[in-house]
Amino acid sequence: MEKYPLQTLIMLRDRRYQDALNNQRQKKLLVEQTVRELEKVRSELDEYKKWKVLEIARRYDQIMLSVQTQKQLATFHEGIASLDLKEHDLEEQIILKENALKKAQQDLENANLNVKNSHKALEKLESHKEIWLTLQKKLEEYKEDLELEDFRVKSKVNLAKNCT
């Protein structure tokens, strides 16, 4: 029986399908990692906000009972403002992580679509191979039948007709 003529194409499509599956796994891991990072930054921000309230209260309690110069008060207010800057930085990190998560999810959707399309292409070729093998088997059987016809003994009636 002949070798399937599109076998190399099946191997190529199978390789593409396997690559698409690997890419999909990587994208899933990236989404999971991005979600973990986002949750980490969110919890860090929550903890920081709680700590900031306590720290501001502590600083005000410390300064309230003492006499301060204008320079000392300015330094105090700069310290309070720096606490707000840290909070703002964490909020920016959350926005960046959310954007990274959206991109990672879109990449995962594209990878899922690529897996689906490459699997469909592979299935089409495998289906074609099954049809081709069935037809080849029938063709082989037909050739065998033709070869057997050459070796059949002619009947006596046919021989008598041919002699006269």
- Which candidate, 41, 57, 48, places its Cα nearest to that of 85? 48
Q: Which two tokens stand for residue 61?
A: 């309690």
CATH number of this structure's domain 7-163, picked from the four choices 1.10.730.10, 3.40.50.300, 3.40.50.450, 1.10.287.1700: 1.10.287.1700
Q: Which two tokens stand for residue 129?
A: 């191979």
Tell me how far apart the alpha carbons of residues 155 and 164 are, in angstroms, rounded to a whole number. 15
Share of the chain above pLDDT 90, in %: 68
75-124 pLDDT tens trace: 988 998 999 999 999 999 999 999 999 999 999 999 999 999 999 999 99
What is the pLDDT, as a whole number, of residue 9? 93
| Mean per-residue pLDDT, 27-55 | 96
Helix, strand, coil share of the chain (percent; to 5): 90, 0, 10
What is the pLDDT, as a whole number, of residue 163? 57
Q: What amino acid occupies position 100?
A: A
| Mean per-residue pLDDT, 4-14 | 92
| Mean per-residue pLDDT, 43-70 | 90
Residue 153 has pLDDT above 70, yes or no: no
The domain limits of the chain are 7-163
Tell me how far apart the alpha carbons of residues 164 and 162 are, in angstroms, rounded to a whole number. 6
